A and B are shown apart, each in its own frame.
Chain A
Amino acid sequence: DTGVSQNPRHKITKRGQNVTFRCDPISEHNRLYWYRQTLGQGPEFLTYFQNEAQLEKSRLLSDRFSAERPKGSFSTLEIQRTEQGDSAMYLCASSSRRRGQGTEAFFGQGTRLTVV
């Protein structure tokens, strides 16, 4: 296992189109996170899963965004009716939750979305 994998690395889409990104976490990790990073800012939390359950969603995640993690393995993030403001780097991370221990997250290389 070589780490967290994200596909595609780059996506250019026209405004109004739908896009879907995929994240494959480290295989034994039960937690998976999505973050969005815009230019000049740090990553902002979007949502996370523990196994297949989506446990928290940020207010940043409008109703045009949906994330799934079927069977607790890979995850997809879909953006419907894309807007220019959706242009950003979308980062996925995974971690292994151990009770009472700090959780170190491992990040993928990100998917850079450009909406034109």
Chain B
Amino acid sequence: AQSVTQLDSQVPVFEEAPVELRCNYSSSVSVYLFWYVQYPNQGLQLLLKYLSGSTLVESINGFEAEFNKSQTSFHLRKPSVHISDTAEYFCALNTNAGKSTFGDGTTLTVKP
């Protein structure tokens, strides 16, 4: 069985400050890892993904995440956040079976 734990349910941060959203996973098989962002009453948008290769992955809007197999983590970071980054963020994994297992989400609130 697989599981995903997002260690912080809420992260408040001031604009232009750095942020880290933590994600740990558990799996007995190889995994593929994802971060999704969700705005109110919207579906999930893929932010970034780790499928193979370089363990550091980046998104087009400045987020990055690093796959750490030994620590079973896939933390999301951004060096300087904007008001528009306020949203719910979900860490997810899937295996070759295809279905995704999600964490319970982290609400990022960026304050001016």
Binding site for B on A (CB under 8 A): 4, 6, 31, 33, 35, 40-45, 48, 56, 91, 93, 95, 97, 100-110, 112
Contacts and interface: CB of A to CB of B under 8 A. Distances in A.
A103 B31 CA distance: 10
B54 interface: no
Interface of B: 4, 32, 34, 36, 41-46, 49, 51-52, 90, 92, 94, 96-105
A45 B41 contact: no
A114 to B, nearest CB: 12
26 contacts: A6-B43, A31-B98, A35-B100, A40-B104, A40-B105, A42-B4, A42-B90, A43-B100, A43-B102, A45-B100, A48-B99, A91-B43, A91-B44, A97-B98, A102-B32, A102-B51, A102-B94, A103-B32, A103-B96, A104-B46, A104-B49, A105-B100, A107-B44, A107-B45, A107-B46, A109-B43
Contact of B43 (A33, A101, A108): A108
B43 A42 contact: no
A35 B105 CA distance: 15
A102 B105 contact: no
